[in-house]
Amino acid sequence: MADEASAHEDAPNKPVQQKRELVKEILRKRAQQNASVVKPGKRVIDESAHKFALDPAVQALRAQHEALARHGLQNPYFLVNESIARGVTTIKGREFINFANYNYLGLSGEATVSQAAKDAIDQYGTSVSASRIASGERPVQAKLERALAEMMDVEDCIVFVSGHATNVTTIGHLFGHSDVIFHDELAHNSAIQGALLSGAKRIPFPHNDWRTLDRLLGDFRGDHHKALIFVEGVYSMDGDVPELPRFVELRNKHRAFLMIDEAHSLGVLGERGYGIREHFGLKGSDADLWMGTLSKTLASCGGYVAAGREVVEYLKYSAPGFLYSVGISPPNAAASLAALEIMQDEPQRVTTLRARSKLFLDLARQKKLDTGHSGGTAVIPVIVGDSMMSIALSNALLARGINVQPVLYPAVSEKASRLRFFVTSAHTEEQIHQTVAAVAGELARLRGNA
């Protein structure tokens, strides 16, 4: 955070400079205090190498929190929700318009979904208590996998207990040292972690730039055994959509595998919410690994890979994050299955979400807010340009009854610091009008333009 701040040194960013100085000063003082060392044998081992509290990274985080407090700002993270979080949520007994949850179709908290989870608990308990290969199957797990595979127009599907772990273990397991992974430069951390774990050569390409990817594939693909192209259906920081058909062409032209992360496109893109495949009218066979999470539209917790029969079988028998981890719990699987059925039965939720997202984006543009690459999906950034002001804006909106989180470096660059709004089908038009007006007003006030 501190290094990146140097990119913005104009007057409105003064708080960032002050904070950088403060963080440096705190770290300098602590370094002096921690100068003592212990000497087992010949090597000198610094205190910070065996006490986490003295680790520079841990200290830097603490220093940032202290700097926040000194600027009179409230830590915007880990707010305690006391109710179901959809279009509104309750924090400290007060109701807020809520933009901090990816409950895109409002299905977490829907009575039918909750009931399905409760019924599954009554029938199977709260946990399967071991890996599925050991503890055996529960019908609801296979039903969910079948429903996901059918939706994605592929032969089979495997469900993992976490969306993040799905990418890490799938990419980490299917690719290795002799392979190459091309990923969008804005790819989610889970894909990067998977690529690092795999040991494959990792080549990021400029955001959504399939032409450059074509050149990179031409230059490097031939030096490697397998090649993976990794893209997302909707990018999680900006809410924009890649030109997937172009990536499919590259996959075919260069004999690569194509993996698409649908964390933010399932329930959002396509008439029925089936995601980016439906949006572009593609076939299941146009990609190799259709990945998604259960935690967003599907109201639960977990991730999946919908794909061909052979690769799913291989993952079920050998992917470490599946083989050596517990199977998805019955209530989680049942909740996602029920949510998927509602999504399929009530496409009007998807239509409403699209209308609300468009309204938000149109209003924000009218107010000249910087919405970055936003493609009118349910993720809409408002780029502020520095961390402290993003936090101050989040604080100010909270005081006005609106809950939205800032996204700061290192998740984005300092000058791309932002508030990120997750629109849901449960938001009313009035809530969106109220929110955009409040954001524009508070931002102008903080920048001294009000």
Ligand X SMILES: Cc1ncc(COP(=O)(O)O)c(C=O)c1O
| Beta carbon of residue 113, minimum distance to ligand X (angstroms, whole number) | 16
Alpha carbon distance 33, 27 (integer Å): 10
Closest-by-Cβ residue to ligand X is 163
| Number of residues counted as binding ligand X (CB under 6 A) | 14
CA distance readout (Å), 257 to 65, 179, 228, 271: 43, 11, 5, 27
Question: In this structure, which amino acid lies at residue 292?
Answer: G
> From the list 303, 327, 375, 381, which residue makes contact with ligand X (rule: CB under 6 A)?
303
Classify residue 431 by burial, with Cβ atoms within 10 Å: 0-12, 13-18, 19+. buried
Alpha carbon distance 433, 360 (integer Å): 8
- The full DSSP string for 426-448 is T--HHHHHHHHHHHHHHHHHHTT
Place of tokens 């300092």: 414
Binding mask 216-235 for ligand X (x = CB under 6 A): ----------------x---
Alpha carbon distance 96, 347 (integer Å): 27
- Taking the CB of residue 345, how many other CB atoms lie within 10 A of it? 11
- Beta carbon nearer to ligand X, 419 or 440: 419
> From the list 48, 108, 169, 236, which residue makes contact with ligand X (rule: CB under 6 A)?
236
Candidate ranges 144-152, 178-186, 210-218, 259-267; the one touching ligand X (CB under 6 A): 259-267
Which pair of structure tokens corresponds to residue 216?
A: 């990179």
- Beta carbon nearer to ligand X, 235 or 257: 235
| Beta carbon of residue 312, minimum distance to ligand X (angstroms, whole number) | 19
C-alpha closest to that of 304 among 251, 248, 262: 262
- Beta carbon nearer to ligand X, 322 or 388: 322
| Beta carbon of residue 12, minimum distance to ligand X (angstroms, whole number) | 30
- Beta carbon nearer to ligand X, 26 or 161: 161
Q: Is 64 in the site for ligand X (CB under 6 A)?
A: no
> From the list 59, 89, 295, 387, which residue makes contact with ligand X (rule: CB under 6 A)?
295
- Beta carbon nearer to ligand X, 63 or 328: 328
- Beta carbon nearer to ligand X, 87 or 292: 292
Coil, helix or strand for 233?
coil
Alpha carbon distance 31, 442 (integer Å): 38
Q: Is 87 in the site for ligand X (CB under 6 A)?
A: no
Element (H, E) at 281: none
Binding mask 188-207 for ligand X (x = CB under 6 A): x-x-----------------
Cβ contact 202:223 at 8 Å: no
CA distance readout (Å), 230 to 20, 110, 278, 289, 308: 36, 33, 18, 9, 17
| Beta carbon of residue 261, minimum distance to ligand X (angstroms, whole number) | 5
| Beta carbon of residue 329, minimum distance to ligand X (angstroms, whole number) | 14
Classify residue 344 by burial, with Cβ atoms within 10 Å: 0-12, 13-18, 19+. middle
C-alpha closest to that of 162 among 321, 314, 334, 330: 321
- Beta carbon nearer to ligand X, 198 or 395: 198
- Beta carbon nearer to ligand X, 8 or 188: 188
> From the list 171, 181, 263, 382, which residue makes contact with ligand X (rule: CB under 6 A)?
263
Q: Is 261 in the site for ligand X (CB under 6 A)?
A: yes
Binding mask 131-170 for ligand X (x = CB under 6 A): -------------------------------xxx--x---
| Beta carbon of residue 302, minimum distance to ligand X (angstroms, whole number) | 7
Instruction: Give the interface with ligand X as residue ranges (CB under 6 A).
Output: 162-164, 167, 188, 190, 232, 236, 261, 263-264, 293, 295, 303
